[in-house]
């Protein structure tokens, strides 16, 4: 498994992810599925 190294973002920006990778991917997939469906419906 691969995981991005966010240590520099933490160190330099104080950044922390708000959601985990799995949930983020699921939300992204749902968004794009909806966007594609709406695009096809408008044609």
Span 2-29, average pLDDT? 94
pLDDT above 70: percentage of residues in the chain:
98
pLDDT of res. 18? 95
C-alpha 30: how far from its chain's center?
Answer: 11
Whether 11 and 2 have beta carbons less than 8 Å apart is answered as no
Please report which confidence band the pLDDT of residue 17 belongs to, taking 50, 70 and 90 as the band edges: very high
Please report which confidence band the pLDDT of residue 3 belongs to, taking 50, 70 and 90 as the band edges: confident
Structural domain boundaries in the chain:
18-43
pLDDT of res. 35? 96
pLDDT of res. 40? 86
4-42 as b/e, with b when 16 or more CB fall inside 10 Å?
Answer: eeeeeeeeeeeeeeeeeeeeeeeeeeeeeeeeeeeeeee
């Amino acid at each position: 498994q691969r995981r991005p190294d966010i240590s520099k973002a933490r160190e330099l920006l104080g950044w922390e992810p708000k959601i985990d990778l799995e949930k983020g991917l699921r939300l992204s997939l749902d968004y794009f599925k909806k966007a594609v469906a709406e695009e096809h419906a408008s044609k």
